[in-house]
Amino acid sequence: MDKNQAKQRIEELKALLWENSRRYYVDNAPTMSDYDYDQLMKELEALEEAYPEFRTPDSPTQKVGSDLSGRDGFAQYPHRYPMLSLGNTYNITEIEEFAQRAVKTLDTDFTYCCELKFDGTAICLTYRDGHLLRALTRGDGVVGDDVTRNVLHIAGIPRRLTGSGWPEEFEIRGEILMPYASFDRLNEDRIRNEEPPFANPRNAASGSLKLLNSEEVGRRGLICTLYHIPSQSASFETHDAALKAAQSWGLPVSEHRRICHDIHEIEDYIRYWDEQRHFLPFATDGIVIKINEMAYQRKLGYTAKFPRWAVAYKFKAEEAVTRLLSIDYQVGRTGAVTPVANLEPVQLSGTVVKRATLNNADQMAQLDIRVGDYVHVEKGGEIIPKITAVDLGRRPADARIPDFPTRCPDCGAPLVKAEAEAKWFCPNADGCPTQIKGRLVHFLSRKAMNVIAGDATIEQLYTRDLVRTPADFYDLNNWQLVQLDGWKDRAATRFMESLAASREVPFERVLFALGIRFVGETTAKEIARHFGDIDRIAAASMEDLLAVPDVGEVIAGSLYEWFRDERHLEEIRRLKAAGLQFSTTREEASSDALAGKVIVISGNFSISRDDMKALIEHHGGKNSSSVSGKTSFLLAGEKPGPEKIRKAGELGIPVLSETQFRALLPGAAPEEDENLFSATLWG
C-alpha cells in the first residue's frame, strides 16, 4: 500500500467507523458487529501508526463514541472526570501481554480485580450528601446527557444512600441493562403494535434510557449494575474496597467479581464465565480485568481513549447450527445489494434468530453456500447474526446453488461492481425506490434536518406519490397529511411545524442531509465552512475540493460527480426556493484568528462547552479532546480537569483562561492581544 492508498483507506475507515458509532450510540440500530467494528478500528490504528501524518484529532482512534442525542428535554453537563472507553481484545495472548506490562512497570506485588463486562449503556451517577444529584450518559466522554429523571424510575438505584461513611460528593459509574425477560416482553409489544423490534437488549436499554416519558422508562424493566468509583472522586486503597463500600451504601454492585493474583487465575475466571454467562438473566459480552490497587492505577495512567490499568477480553460470539431456507437480496440507501439468509428459527444469545447477513457475493462463493444447507450462525458482539460456515457433511442432495442477481431486485437496473469493492451496487440512485426512500429518511433524520418522521411515514408518502425528493416535503400541506393512515390533525400540524423549523437548520447540516456518498457529518461541516455556500461547492474543481482539510480523492470524487448531475442541481434550486440555508452566515465564518491552532478545552465557561467549541471553529481553530504535542494551547475554564492541566505542564503547552482566549479574537485591544501572544503563546 503506497502513501496515497493509505490516505484513501484511512478516510474510508474513519467515515465507516464514525457512521457505525453513530448508529450504535445514538440511533441504537447498529449495522455492524462489535467484532467487525473492532477489527476495522485495529486496521485504522495500524495505518495511523504507519502514516502518523494522516492521524487527525477527530479520528475514531483518538475519541470515544458519543451517545449525545441533542434532543429537546435532555440538558447536557460536563463529566467531572472523563468517561473513557476500554481497550479490548478477543485474544488471550493480548491479556497475557497486558499482565506482563503491568508486572514490568509496577515492579511490585499487586492484584487484579476481574469483573463481567455488561452489555448495556453506560451511566454516571453523582451523589451529594447521600442524595442522587445527577445521572449522565457517557455522551462524548467529556459531556453527557442528563437523564436523572429517567434513572429515578429504574429499580435498584437509590435516591438516598443508606449506611454511613460515604463521601460528601462522589461519582459512581456502571451500566443500565435490560434483562432478557424484559427485552422479550418489550419486543412482543412492539411487534403487536407494528413497531420495529429492537435488535438486542443493549439497544433496547439505550433507547429506553433516552425516552422523554419517564413513566414509560419505569415500565421497561431496566436494571443497573455499578462497577467503578473514579479514584479522584473517593479515597480507597483498592478498587474492590470501593465497590464493597458502595454496596454497603445500598448501591447495586455486581457480586460476580473476583480478585486474581496472576494470569493463570485470570484465565480460569475467563474460562468459567465463557460457559456460565449463558445462564445469566442479562447480556454480558466479556470480562474486564483491572489493576486492583488505586495507587497503581494512578501510576499507570491513561491514553487519549483508554486507561492503561484496565483491559476488556471479549468472548467469541455464540454459535448455533440451523437450516438455510432461502436468500433475499436487499438494496441499501447507497445502492449496495446485501444477501440476507432466511433461517429456520434458532435460539442464540438470548434471542430467536430467523435471518442472518451473508455480506456479499464473494463471501457466498467462499462459503460455497447452498439453499437447504445446514449453516453455522453466530451473533458477532451479540448484535448482527451472520453465517460463518457450512456443515458440508449434512448437505442435502437437493441443496440449490443460489443465483446472485445481475439486476437490482427493486428497480431492475443492471448491477455494477467497482474493482476495489466487494459489494454489487445498483447505479440507478435517483430511480431506485429503496435508495430514494433511504435518502428521504436520512434527509429528515435528527443529525440532518431533524424533522419528526420515521420509515412508516416515508413509506406512505412515497407510496401515495407525494414525495420523491427532499424538496417535495416542502410542497406538502395538512390536507394531504391527514389522508395518511393513522394521521390526525395534531400529527399533521406537528410534522408541518417541524418542517418549517428545518428551514433554520445551518448549511453544514443541510449539506449532510443531501446524502452525498462518503460525506458524513464532520466532513460536511469542513466543506461548508471552507466554501461558504453551495454554489461555490458546485463550481469547485477536483483540486479545489482536495484543498479542504481531511477531504481526499474518494470524497472529492463523490462530491464532484454529484454536482455534475443536473437533477441534483435542480433539487438544490427547489430547496433554495423552499427557504433552506445554503450558505454560512457572517457569524459562522467570523475570522481566521485561530487558523492553524489545535485547542483543547477543559472546565466550565460563561457559555456552554458546545458553544465554546463552535466559537473556536468559527474563528478558524480546531477542537481536540486530548492534550498532545500538536496542541496549541489548553483553554481552561472553572474546575478544569487536573489530568489535562498536568499533561499540558509536562509538554510545555500554554494554558489560557477564558478572558485570555477572548483577547485573541477580533475586537480585543491591540496591545492586550499582542502582549498575550508574546507572553502566553510563545513563552
pLDDT in tens, 520-564: 877 888 899 889 999 999 999 999 999 887 788 888 999 999 999
- What are the φ/ψ torsions at residue 668 (nearest 5 degrees)? -70, 150
Choose the catalytic residue: 117, 379, 437, 622: 117
| Count of the separate structural domains present in the chain | 5
pLDDT at site 681: 32
pLDDT band at 451; cut points 50, 70, 90? very high
Residue at 587 is within a domain: no
Residue at 141 is within a domain: yes
Neighbours of 366 (CB within 10 A): 10
Q: What is the CATH number of the domain that holds 13?
A: 1.10.287.610
Domain edge (last residue) among 314, 330, 345: 314
pLDDT in tens, 428-450: 988 999 999 999 999 998 889 99
Task: Give CA–CA dist 588/528, Å, rounded.
Answer: 10
Neighbours of 513 (CB within 10 A): 25
**Domain match, 397 and 442 both:** no
In terms of average pLDDT, the best of 77-81, 263-267, 331-335, 455-459 is 263-267
Average pLDDT, rounded, for the chain = 85
C-alpha 215: how far from chain center: 27
pLDDT at site 63: 57
**Domain match, 307 and 337 both:** no
Residue at 662 is within a domain: yes
Task: Give the range of the structural domain holding residue 24, as residue numbers without chain letter.
Answer: 3-54
pLDDT at site 336: 87
Task: Give CA–CA dist 36/23, Å, rounded.
Answer: 14
Considering only residues 350 and 484, tell me which one the structure prediction assigns the higher pLDDT. Answer: 484
pLDDT for residue 309 is more than 90: yes
DSSP 371: B
Mean pLDDT for the stretch of residues 354-360: 86
pLDDT for residue 111 is more than 80: yes
Q: 134-148, 300-314, 533-547, 665-679: lowest mean pLDDT where?
A: 665-679
Task: Give CA–CA dist 177/326, Å, rounded.
Answer: 34
Count of CA atoms in the C-beta half-sphere (13 A) of 106? 24
- What are the φ/ψ torsions at residue 287 (nearest 5 degrees)? -125, 140
pLDDT for residue 617 is more than 70: yes
**Domain match, 450 and 538 both:** yes
Residue at 582 is within a domain: no
Considering only residues 639 and 32, tell me which one the structure prediction assigns the higher pLDDT. Answer: 639
Q: Is 440 helix (H, G, I), strand (E, B) or coil?
A: helix
- CA angle at 538 for the pair 533 and 543, rounded to the nearest 5°: 105
**Domain match, 354 and 489 both:** no
Strands of 106-242 (E only): list them.
Answer: 112-118, 121-128, 131-137, 143-145, 169-177, 223-228
Domain edge (last residue) among 394, 424, 454: 424
pLDDT for residue 678 is more than 70: no
pLDDT for residue 406 is more than 90: yes
pLDDT band at 349; cut points 50, 70, 90? low
- What are the φ/ψ torsions at residue 634 (nearest 5 degrees)? -95, 125
Residue at 328 is within a domain: yes
Is 117 in the active site? Answer: yes
Domain edge (last residue) among 380, 407, 424: 424
pLDDT for residue 683 is more than 80: no
Residue at 274 is within a domain: yes
pLDDT band at 581; cut points 50, 70, 90? very high
**Domain match, 331 and 228 both:** no
Mean pLDDT for the stretch of residues 246-255: 93
